[in-house]
Every structure is written in structure tokens, then in C-alpha cells.
């Protein structure tokens, strides 16, 4: 019996892409494997991960293949990752249909199993080897069997092939077929083959806490389902970025300030949270609700608990490890150190040990420990296939006296790790006295002083007596967490210090120095920054202090710089720009935005001193950074649903043109948004903003060193961001630009005040600007009042997908990243502080709520009234001066107008065109002109996607959806979302129009086809009538050709001739119109030579580039002297076929735009029930064509 998976057909599993077999139907069967029995799942199965080796480095644009069981989420993962990576999605099922015109089941029924296999294999080869770059390929069944396995193996030599795993319960829930035992058996049989054919794997775990949540989103947060997808997207992209290091898209996806580019080994006093596999289950779900404080998590696998039987590392054990690593990553979101502990075994199976390590490489672990005591050849083999994983050479010294820190064995391990090519050396030893701790420090010092080895060294002692060495060690010291101590009191790591304990000890031992920081500006008395930074310092055990400085000049700032304990400051208006000339170094971000909001005091004249902070001493240089943009970037990424992920046509709207608007523009650029609209009444200010980002200035660094030592700078820096297309709106009365998609990301940068409980500025926007069918995210940077008119407006549109984000969610994001450069601590979960100030009295405690990625934890921070005498309290007047925190007051009169009464939302319907590569479509011009002429409030817009994905489904299910035009490839797929399809749609096999109907009080989605109507009307306009004795020729065999054949049938032509270079497809199309006499040819020359055919109609349905003038037989047109040519191609305006036809005066020629017009009029009438205003729509389109 075969052990490789099959998907022989989809007869009962996937409906035809266009047939109306109702959405309510439930799949009744699955034929994913042939002859698959359903015995109980055996206890173990073979583990075979080593057939395909990993390479050291993959090309950044190398295509990625996904393989796995149906229902594991391959297609969803591909779509989620594609927009950030800038890759296209190639789905095997859709590709099969696109090429053959039939589903797998239909093709098999029509051509037999043998020909189906041949066609499938050919398409697999084409998908893999014709798309070596820029694609995420969702492989079908043929890729993991027979010849397909050989091709996939060859493809994997230079490409990622990722095996996607999922829990059997989730697969069954998705497929809704079979019982769990059957699903588990299918997984059991398929997994060995999938592992042999892949070089990495990803466990697609479901977030059960979100699935079970029945609470409504608060403050406009994402719904549980959208948030779950967002978490999956983040996790999967982190895996890909970690393997490939695609820094361009990584910079687009993650907001990182300059210092966060530094690798962990370059930072001082970093920590690794140690969690054994045996403890993980009881604590991991709780760890997601708090800040971890550590920089990495060490996932420890005890061999003694995994390899108790003779099977060793079997498939089920590998699955368990993969799942647990995935759970750690999703819940803790920091780099993983993969460590297999063999010291608890008397006799170690070396092969099993290295198979466990190889499995860690398959999971894309950021760090992997290998025991240096094992065989050199095996370690070298492991390191040669590590990819981007950093290897930690680990050595645990014995307890006997001849293996102390001064022993030659320790020096031998340094040399061994260096020779093998390890990235880091870790040496540990159980302490027998406190003197061992000083010996460990001395060992590290001696290695560094020798200058013989540059390998970073982690050195510490274990046990209660060794805790001193753990906090004095500066690289990835092992730590525990209070939660682990409470929930798993028997955990071996509980003898370790927590991060807070280690930090306190480090400062108390004078290894690091306390410093003071502050916020500096002319209106800072009410700033929330001190509360944020003091909370962070307290959380991390740092004795630093953060003060308020309200000043009218910069003189006092540079006096403070002379204080040896001054570490830096947050810079606010009006000094963000004025401080730039005084900086010795500027980050790329600060240069691009043209402002500094973070100043760091350097204790050495080079950038190297950034690695040695928390140290007192004279300031000899100043570094300027900007983190304002990070708060915006992070809040967009956190709240933007996957449906609205940034794509080529994504549009962002910035309200305002001041300093924070510049930060917003930079955030948009880093997000990859290429269409940016700036709304500001003073056009000159908007133009200045645009000019700044159209031409970035040169470096202002006054020293030679301009980059961070050891940094991993993203290539998404300002000088490598593609120039976006900017547009300006001067008034709320302006219509949204027709050539741009409606905005899905809106950032308001207007300063506001709370005046007697009312917002001082009307920040609301026109309803038309908020008409995105999939909603989006609205970010308000001001937080007085907390709910502005714009946020209130967005919350009212929550049921249409809009997410409202207030300023108190943005402020902490940039504030915490701003805090990171000061003490040198990069926050693991980017703590956000959201004040819930209960009351304010002298010397009273205020509760500050800490929000860690959507969860809540409270800290009590003692705040004194003389420092916070104007703290914002609910309903209190909290004035925000011009320029506070970088906000600038707009001069726009529109901003101060009271909002007008908005029309009822349901009176207006949204219409769309669905398709791929449709950015230049003329349909919006046509239909919007028609709506306007008839006084209808509707709007027509472009929605571009590679296929019919979740975004399309969301749009058509929206209550304000009115209908849609559908083009390729969606017209072959949209039927699965509809309730019924017209007879024409079924006969043609494609749907180009979606109509919303009311039937018996129910909303019904109905599919139709008007392409044939457009062709038919053009033919009839020619005046020709002698059809019954004439022949019609159709060139092509795709969707448009089907529509042409249907139109020809309705007109009563005597004969239909189909020409297509693949003769079998021409014959297949002709056979569907048996009412007519039909013939099929592979070339036009063959058709021309037919003596008994009176061809008076030619419909060309192939790209114009495929048929030059020299390839069109002139006899086709000169033979009878008159006839009709319908050229379906839009571009060029005059094709080769048209040129030949126009030489014969008796032939009338109709272009693709003529057909487009006619079919659009038919669509308009189906949607509105009104006669289309043809003349108005035609004039609008002609004007658009003329201006193109």
C-alpha cells in the first residue's frame, strides 16, 4: 500500500468554481488518499527529516513552496505572507483550473486518470521551475508522489519547501468530513513523505483562547477571528524572515529603531528565559499575558523523557516538539534557543541526539545549542546545514576539581568552538563556592584579553551558589520568571534569578550605573512620559529616573549634558528640529523625518559607545533618533486585519501636515504604502511634506562612523524606499481621487483640546472617504479628548470593519521604543501603558494599566501631585498645547467646522470590480459617471486580489454591497460564494457580474454573464443581418471565447469555427455548441483555406501581443469583402488584426472598449433596474482614454 498522499479528485470536496451548488451545502466526502483505511493511530511512526538538506543562504526573492495535508491552512498562509513579501500566490488547484479550464475531478472524468496524471505532472513542473522567484507555491497532491517528488526535491536545493502541520481536530473542523481517528490516520500516513520532501516545517496551531472568546472587541480592537489570523500571519512571517533574512520586507513588517538592529550578542546584559519542555504546557498560556522581560526563550528538551523506548525520535515526538515550539513563539514572541539536554542520561544515543538537533534546524530556531563533547564530524555536518540559525557551542564542565575555570579544558573548548565555526560559546559549571563566580568572570576576561579568539562567550555557574555569575555574565544569562515559580514550583530553572532580580543585582554591584533622563520641551508639564518610563524602569529593576523639563530654550538641555549621570532625553516641540545641528550622529529615521525625538548621550566619540550604556561619565558625543513613526507603524500593523494587508493598491490617508504628519508619512513608507493622500487646507504645508519625502537630504553625521557595529540594518531604510505617489486634498468637500483605492489606513495628526467635554476640533471625515468595503484602521494621535469625532465615527462603522485606535495606544508604543535606547534594554513585548487614572489627590497612588499585546496587568506607581498636578482624569479639562509631543495645530477651517448630518449609510451601495492586475480598469469611470448622472449615491471601485480570497467574501457579504463586475481569474472562482447562477453563466462557464437580489425576503447573491451581451450588441450595431448562411470565427478558447461562442449561438449563425494553438482546447470548446455546425483548427492559415466557409464575423479573444499583423492571413477579410471584426483586446488601440481588417472597407471593426461599454451598460441595468445613461457614461470613458 502506498504511503504517499493522494488527492485523486475533489468531486465531493470542492465545488466547481462557477456552478451554483449553494453555499449552504456541507461537503460529504474526501478523496485525499486512495484506498485509505481507518485503523487506530499507531503509537509511533518513522521520522525521516534528512532527505533534503538546507543551504546556508537562500536568495531573498527565491520562491517558497508549501506542502501539507488539505485543511492545514496552506492557502491561507500563502495569502497572509504574500503581501508582506511582495510575492504572488500560485495555488495548485487554481492553477490547474486556469490552465485546463476544468477542476481536477471534471478533467479526470473527461480525459481519464492517465491523462489527468500527465497533465498534473506537467503543471507541477511548470509551477516549480517556471516560477523560481517571487512566488509562494501551494503544492497539490502530485508534488509528493511519483515524478513530482523528484522535481520537488530538485526545487528544494535552492528554495524553501515548508511542510505545514496542523492538529487533527482543526483539520476536521475545517474539512467537516470523517471522524478524528480517520484524520489522524491520514496524518500518520502522510507525514513521513512530507518531512522527506521539505527542508523546514511550521505547525499551524489555533489560538483556542481567541476561539472561545465571546467578548466584544474593546476600543475598536480586532475581532477574535481577525486577531487570530493576525497572530498566525506574524508568526509565519517571522519564520520566513528568520530563514531568509529578507530585510526589505522585514523592515516593512516590523517597526524597529536603529538600536534594535543590533544582534543579541552585541547588546549588554541580555537574558534567556529557561523553560523545560516538561514545564511548558502548564505556563505558556499564562506567559502571553505578561511582559517576559527576557530577550530570548530557551526551549529545553530533556532526552530522557523523549527517548524512553527503542523507537527514539519518532514522528509523534517530532510533532510534539514542533507544536510546542510553535506555541512558544506565538505566545512569547521572542527568539528561541533550541537546547537538547542529554546530561540527564547515563548513555546517550548520539544519532538520536543529532536527529533532535536537526529537527530544531527544521523549525528555524534562531539559536541552537550543540554539545561540544560529541563527535566533530557530526557537529560539522550540523553546522554546515544551519542556515541562518546561530550555533551555540555548549560545554558543561564536570564537578571534579581538575575541570575548573582555570583548567586547560576550558581553553580547549574555546579553540574547539572557534575551529568548528560556532557563533557563540557557552560554558557552565556547578559552583562549589562563591570563588567560582569570580573565576568565571576571570576566564572570560582572559579570553578577551588574549585577542586570540573573538567568539562571544557565555560563562556562568549553576546552582544556588552560582547565581552571582549569572547576573555578572553579560550575554544571554539564564533566568526564570515569577509566574514559572508560582505555577511550576518543581521546575529545575526556579533556582535561577528573574530579570528584575538580575538587573537589581547588576546595578547594586556597580557593574552598571544609575542615570537620569527626562522629557524636554516648552509644554511638558502634563506629559504621560514620566509615568511610562518610570514604570518600565521599575519593571526591569533599573534605578534610573525620568523627569519633566519645561523650558523655553535649549540652553538648559546642554547644561544637563555636562552631568556625568545624564543619559539622554525625549525631545518635544519646539526643539525637535532645532536640536539637529547639535547632534554628532543621526539615525536614518531622524534624517528622513527631519526631526529628533530621542537624544542619547554617548560616553565615547564613536558609535561603539551605544553598546556600552548604563555607564556614568562625561558625554563626548550626542546621538539623535526618532521613534514617533514607530508608534504609528506598530499600531497599524497590530490593528490592520489580514484582509487589509498592505498591497500594491493600498492607499493611506494622513490628516494634517505638521511634524507628526511627517512621522506618519515615514511610517507609511516603511509599511510599503505607495499611494499616500495628505489632507490639509494649507496646501503649501502639504507640498512641503511631500517635497521632503520626494528628495531625502544627505547624511548629517559629523563623524566617520555612520552605522552601528554589528548591526543588521534593514534595507528598508529611507534611501531604498520607492517614491510613493502623493496627492493632496484641500477640503472635506473634495471627492476622493477616482484613480486611487479608498483608504484603509488613516492617521489623524491634528492637535485637539478637551473644551468642557467637547473636542476643540471637528476631526470627522466625509463618509465617502470611509467607504472602504473591508474597513480599515483609523489612528488618532491626539488623546484629549480620548474619543475625538473621528474615533467616534470609526467606532460607529465597526460592523463594517473599521478599527479605532486612540492616542493613548500610540503614545506608549513610541515611548517604550524610546525608552529602549536609554538603558540599552529592548522590550520583548513592546509594553504599552494605557492610563486608567482613578482619582488624583496629594501623595495618592495612581493605577496605570499595562497592556501587553492586548492583555492587562496592573502596576501601582507612586506619583506625587507636584510632578503630575495636571494629570488627565476622565472628563477633566486636559489642554494640549500646540506642538505637545510633536503634534501641530492645523490651520484648516474645515477642521473646525461642525460636522454635517450624514446620509443614511444603507441608502448608499458599494459596487466593485474584482480581479487581478486591474489597476487601469475603465469600469470605475463608466459606472460612477452613470450613478452621478442618475443622482444615485452609489460608488464603484477597484478591489484587486490574486484570487477570490477572504477579502472578496467579506465584501460581498457586507450589507452595503450592491454588486460587482468580475474579471479574470475571479470569474472562474466567484461562483463558490454565490447562491445561484444564470443559465448564461453556466453555459459560458464564467461569471462576470454579481447581482444582489431580494427573494422571499432573503438577500440572494446571483451570478450572471454580460460579456456575451457586449459582443452581441456590437455585432448587431454593425447592421449585418445575414447570419443564418454565414460562418463565425472565434480566435482563442478562454473565458472571453466562451462568451463569444454563446453570443454567436443566440444570433443564429450557421457555423462556428474555433481557432486555438492548442487544438484539443479548440475542439473541446466547439463541442459545447453542438447546436451549430462546428470546426476547430490550430492556426488561422488552416481556417482561411476552408473553401465552403463564408466567414462574416471574427471575434479575437487572445492578447494582441500574441498575434502580429504579419501573422494574420489577409484572405480572411478579402475573401467576402465585408463582415464584422470584434477585437476584444484593449491595448494597443490598433492591433495587428484590426490593421488587416481596416484594409477592407467592407469590414466594420469594434474594439475591446466598445464591448466593455456595452456589457457595462447591461451590468448597470441589472444592478439598478434603470436604463443606463449611455451617452454620459461613454463621454466619461472617452475622456479617460484620451487623458491616459
Query: d(Cα 932, Cα 911) in Å, to the nearest integer?
Result: 14
Q: Is 705 helix (H, G, I), strand (E, B) or coil?
A: coil
Q: What is the CB-side half-sphere exposure of residue 924 using CA atoms within 13 A? A: 22
- CB neighbourhood size of 639 (10 A): 24
- Over the range 1025-1046, which residues count as b (16 or more CB within 10 Å of their CB) and which as e? eebeebbbbbbbbbbbbbbbbb
Distance CA 1137, CA 1134 (A): 8
Per the rule left: phi > 0, alpha: psi between -120 and 50, beta: everything else, 740 is beta
Q: Which residues contact 9 (CB under 8 A, 6 or more apart)?
A: 31, 104, 105, 108
Is 392 within 8 Å of 458 (Cβ atoms)?
yes
Three-state SS string over 890-956 comes to CCCHHHHCCCCCCCCHHHCCEEEEEECCCCCCCHHHHHHHHHHHCCCCCEEEEEECCCCCHHHHHHH
Using omega within 30 degrees of 0 as the cis cutoff, is the peptide bond preceding 969 cis?
A: yes
Q: In terms of residues, how long is the chain?
A: 1188
CA max distance for the chain: 108
Output the nine-digit C-alpha cell for 87: 510575492
- Grid coordinates of 872: 488627565
Taking a C-beta distance cutoff of 8 angstroms, is the pair 63, 82 a contact? no
**DSSP letters spanning 243-259:** HH--HHHHHHHS---GG
Q: Which residues contact 872 (CB under 8 A, 6 or more apart)?
A: 526, 528, 783, 784, 835, 837, 878
With contact defined as beta carbons under 8 Å apart, do 671 and 630 qualify?
A: no
Known catalytic residue at 971 = yes
- Helix, coil or strand: residue 608: helix
List C-alpha distances in Å: 399 to 496, 497, 565: 19, 22, 43
DSSP 8-class letter at 613: -
Written as nine digits, the cell of 309 is 523506548
Q: What is the DSSP letter of 606?
A: S
User: In the block, which residue shows the cell 492538529?
Assistant: 167
Helical ranges in 299-434 per DSSP H: 303-306, 315-332, 350-362, 376-384, 408-420
Decide if 679 contacts 664 (C-beta within 8 A). Answer: no
C-alpha cell at 1026: 445575414
CB-based burial, 434-471: b 16+ in 10 Å, e otherwise: eebbebbbebbeebeeeeebebbbbbbbbeebbbbbbb
Q: Three-state SS string across 1134-1175, please?
A: CCHHHHHHHCCCEEEEECHHHHHHHHHHHHHHHHHCCCCCHH
- What sign does the dihedral 435-436-437-443 (CA atoms) show? positive
How many C-alpha atoms does 1095 have within 13 Å on its Cβ side? 25
Q: Which of 732, 971, 1065, 1148 is catalytic?
A: 971
Q: Are 847 and 826 in contact (CB under 8 A)?
A: no
Alpha helices in 564-627 (DSSP H): 588-593
User: Cell 453556466, residue?
Assistant: 986
The rounded distance, in Å, linking the Cα atoms of 205 and 187 is 15
Q: Which are the catalytic amino acids?
A: 971
Amino acid at each position: 500500500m502506498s504511503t504517499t498522499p493522494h488527492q485523486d479528485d475533489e468531486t465531493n470536496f470542492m465545488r466547481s468554481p462557477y456552478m451554483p451548488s449553494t453555499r449552504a451545502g456541507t461537503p460529504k466526502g474526501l478523496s485525499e488518499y486512495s484506498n485509505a483505511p481507518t485503523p487506530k493511530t499507531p503509537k509511533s511512526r518513522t521520522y525521516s527529516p534528512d532527505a533534503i538538506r538546507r543551504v546556508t543562504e537562500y536568495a531573498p526573492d527565491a520562491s517558497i513552496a508549501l506542502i501539507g495535508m488539505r485543511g492545514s491552512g496552506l492557502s491561507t498562509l500563502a495569502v497572509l505572507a504574500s503581501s508582506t513579501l511582495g510575492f504572488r500566490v500560485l495555488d495548485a488547484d487554481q492553477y490547474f483550473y486556469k490552465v485546463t479550464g476544468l477542476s481536477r475531478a471534471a478533467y479526470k472524468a473527461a480525459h481519464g486518470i492517465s491523462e489527468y496524471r500527465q497533465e498534473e505532472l506537467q503543471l507541477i513542473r511548470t509551477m516549480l521551475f517556471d516560477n523560481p522567484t517571487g512566488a509562494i507555491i501551494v503544492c497539490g497532491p502530485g508534488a509528493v508522489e511519483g515524478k513530482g517528488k523528484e522535481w520537488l526535491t530538485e526545487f528544494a536545493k535552492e528554495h524553501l519547501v515548508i511542510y505545514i502541520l496542523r492538529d487533527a481536530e482543526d483539520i476536521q473542523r475545517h474539512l467537516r468530513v470523517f471522524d478524528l481517528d480517520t484524520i489522524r490516520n491520514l496524518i500518520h500516513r502522510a507525514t513521513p513523505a512530507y518531512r522527506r520532501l521539505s527542508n523546514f516545517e511550521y505547525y499551524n496551531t489555533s489560538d483556542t483562547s481567541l476561539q472561545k472568546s465571546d467578548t466584544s472587541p474593546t476600543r475598536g480592537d480586532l475581532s477574535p477571528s481577525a486577531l487570530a489570523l493576525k497572530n498566525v500571519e506574524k508568526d509565519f512571517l517571522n519564520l520566513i524572515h528568520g530563514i531568509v533574512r529578507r530585510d526589505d520586507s522585514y523592515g516593512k513588517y516590523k517597526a524597529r529603531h536603529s538600536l534594535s538592529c543590533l544582534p543579541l550578542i552585541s547588546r549588554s546584559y541580555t537574558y534567556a528565559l529557561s523553560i523545560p519542555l516538561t514545564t511548558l504546557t502548564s505556563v505558556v498560556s499564562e506567559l502571553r499575558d505578561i511582559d517576559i522581560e527576557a530577550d530570548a526563550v530557551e526551549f529545553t528538551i530533556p532526552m530522557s523523557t523523549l527517548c524512553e523506548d527503542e523507537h527514539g525520535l519518532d514522528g509523534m515526538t517530532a510533532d510534539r516538539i514542533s507544536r510546542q515550539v510553535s506555541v512558544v513563539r506565538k505566545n512569547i514572541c521572542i527568539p528561541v534557543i533550541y537546547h537538547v539536554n542529554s546530561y540527564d542520561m547515563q548513555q546517550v544515543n548520539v544519532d538520536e541526539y543529532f536527529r533532535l538537533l536537526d529537527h530544531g534546524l527544521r523549525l528555524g530556531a534562531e539559536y541552537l545549542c550543540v554539545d561540544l563533547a560529541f563527535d566533530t564530524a557530526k557537529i560539522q555536518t550540523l553546522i554546515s546545514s544551519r542556515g541562518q540559525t546561530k550555533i551555540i557551542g555548549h560545554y558543561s564542565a564536570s564537578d571534579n576539581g581538575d575541570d575548573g575555570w582555570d583548567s586547560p579544558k576550558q581553553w580547549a573548548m574555546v579553540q574547539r568552538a572557534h575551529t568548528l565555526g560556532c557563533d557563540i560559546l557557552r560554558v557552565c559549571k556547578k559552583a562549589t563556592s562563591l570563588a567560582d563566580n569570580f573565576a568565571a568572570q576571570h576566564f572570560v576576561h582572559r579570553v578577551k584579553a588574549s585577542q586570540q579568539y573573538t567568539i562571544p562567550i557565555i560563562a556562568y555557574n549553576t546552582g544556588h551558589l552560582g547565581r552571582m555569575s549569572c547576573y555578572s555574565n553579560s550575554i544571554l544569562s539564564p533566568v526564570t520568571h515569577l509566574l514559572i515559580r508560582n505555577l511550576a514550583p518543581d521546575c529545575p530553572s526556579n533556582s535561577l534569578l528573574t530579570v528584575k532580580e538580575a538587573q537589581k543585582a547588576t546595578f547594586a554591584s556597580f557593574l552598571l550605573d544609575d542615570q537620569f533622563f527626562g522629557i524636554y520641551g516648552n509644554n511638558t508639564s502634563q506629559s504621560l512620559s514620566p509615568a511610562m518610563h518610570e514604570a518600565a524602569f521599575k519593571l526591569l529593576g533599573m534605578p534610573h529616573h525620568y523627569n519633566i523639563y519645561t523650558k523655553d530654550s535649549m540652553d538648559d538641555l546642554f547644561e544637563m549634558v555636562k552631568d556625568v549621570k545624564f543619559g539622554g532625553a525625549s525631545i518635544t516641540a519646539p526643539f525637535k528640529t532645532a536640536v539637529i545641528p547639535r547632534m554628532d550622529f543621526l539615525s536614518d529615521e531622524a534624517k528622513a523625518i527631519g526631526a529628533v525625538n530621542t537624544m542619547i548621550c554617548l560616553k565615547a566619540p564613536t558609535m561603539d559607545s551605544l553598546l556600552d550604556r548604563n555607564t556614568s561619565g562625561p558625554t563626548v558625543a550626542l546621538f539623535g533618533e526618532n521613534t514617533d513613526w514607530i508608534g504609528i507603524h506598530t499600531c497599524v500593523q497590530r490593528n490592520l486585519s489580514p484582509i487589509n494587508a498592505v498591497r500594491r493598491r493600498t492607499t493611506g490617508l494622513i490628516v494634517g501636515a505638521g511634524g507628526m504628519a511627517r512621522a506618519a508619512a515615514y511610517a507609511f513608507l516603511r509599511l510599503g504604502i505607495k499611494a499616500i493622500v495628505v489632507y490639509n487646507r494649507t496646501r503649501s504645508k502639504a507640498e512641503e511634506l511631500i517635497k521632503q519625502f520626494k528628495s531625502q537630504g544627505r547624511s548629517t553625521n559629523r563623524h566617520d562612523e555612520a552605522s552601528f557595529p554589528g548591526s543588521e540594518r534593514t534595507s528598508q531604510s529611507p534611501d531604498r524606499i520607492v517614491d510613493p505617489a502623493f496627492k493632496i486634498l484641500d477640503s472635506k468637500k473634495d471627492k476622493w481621487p477616482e484613480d486611487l483605492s479608498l483608504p484603509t489606513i488613516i492617521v489623524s495628526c491634528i492637535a485637539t483640546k478637551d473644551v468642557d467635554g467637547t473636542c476643540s476640533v471637528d476631526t470627522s471625515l466625509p463618509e465617502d472617504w470611509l467607504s472602504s468595503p473591508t474597513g480599515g484602521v483609523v489612528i488618532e494621535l491626539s488623546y484629549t479628548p480620548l474619543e475625538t469625532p473621528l474615533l467616534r465615527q470609526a467606532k460607529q462603522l465597526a460592523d463594517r470593519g473599521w478599527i479605532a485606535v486612540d492616542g493613548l495606544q500610540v503614545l506608549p508604543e513610541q515611548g517604550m521604543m524610546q525608552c529602549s535606547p536609554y538603558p540599552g534594554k529592548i522590550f520583548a513585548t513592546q509594553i504599552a501603558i494605557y492610563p486608567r487614572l482613578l482619582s488624583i489627590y496629594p501623595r495618592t497612588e495612581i493605577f496605570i494599566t499595562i497592556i501587553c499585546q492586548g492583555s492587562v496587568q496592573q502596576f501601582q506607581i507612586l506619583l506625587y501631585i507636584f510632578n503630575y498636578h495636571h494629570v488627565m482624569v476622565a472628563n477633566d479639562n486636559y489642554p494640549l498645547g500646540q506642538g505637545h509631543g510633536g503634534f501641530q495645530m492645523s490651520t484648516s477651517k474645515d477642521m473646525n467646522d461642525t460636522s454635517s448630518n450624514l446620509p443614511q449609510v444603507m441608502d448608499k451601495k458599494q459596487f466593485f470590480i474584482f480581479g487581478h492586475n486591474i489597476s487601469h480598469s475603465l469600469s470605475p469611470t463608466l459606472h460612477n459617471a452613470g450613478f452621478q448622472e442618475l443622482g444615485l449615491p452609489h460608488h464603484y471601485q477597484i478591489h484587486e486580489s490574486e484570487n477570490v480570497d477572504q477579502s472578496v467574501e467579506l465584501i460581498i457579504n457586507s450589507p452595503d454591497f450592491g454588486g460587482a463586475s468580475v474579471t479574470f481569474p475571479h470569474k472562474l472562482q466567484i461562483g463558490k460564494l454565490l447562491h445561484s447562477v444564470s443559465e448564461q453563466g453556466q453555459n459560458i462557464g464564467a461569471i462576470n457580474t454579481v447581482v444582489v437580489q431580494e427573494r422571499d425576503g432573503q438577500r440572494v447573491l446571483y451570478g450572471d454573464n454580460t460579456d456575451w451581451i457586449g459582443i452581441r450588441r456590437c455585432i448587431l450595431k454593425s447592421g449585418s443581418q445575414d447570419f443564418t448562411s454565414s460562418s463565425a470565427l472565434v480566435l482563442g478558447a478562454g473565458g472571453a471565447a466562451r462568451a463569444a461562442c454563446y453570443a454567436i449561438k443566440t444570433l443564429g449563425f450557421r457555423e462556428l469555427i474555433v481557432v486555438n494553438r492548442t487544438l484539443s482546447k479548440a475542439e473541446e470548446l466547439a463541442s459545447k455548441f453542438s447546436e451549430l455546425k462546428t470546426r476547430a483548427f490550430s492556426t488561422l492559415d488552416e481556417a482561411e483555406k476552408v473553401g465552403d466557409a463564408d466567414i462574416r464575423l471574427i471575434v479575437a479573444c487572445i492578447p494582441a501581443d500574441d498575434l502580429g499583423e504579419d501573422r494574420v492571413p489577409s484572405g480572411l477579410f478579402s475573401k467576402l469583402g465585408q463582415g464584422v471584426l470584434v477585437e476584444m483586446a484593449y491595448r494597443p488601440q490598433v492591433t495587428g488584426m484590426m490593421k488587416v481588417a481596416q484594409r477592407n472597407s467592407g469590414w466594420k471593426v469594434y474594439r475591446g472598449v466598445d464591448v466593455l461599454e456595452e456589457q457595462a451598460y447591461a451590468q448597470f441595468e441589472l444592478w439598478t433596474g434603470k436604463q443606463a445613461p449611455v451617452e454620459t457614461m461613454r463621454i466619461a470613458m472617452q475622456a479617460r482614454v484620451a487623458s491616459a
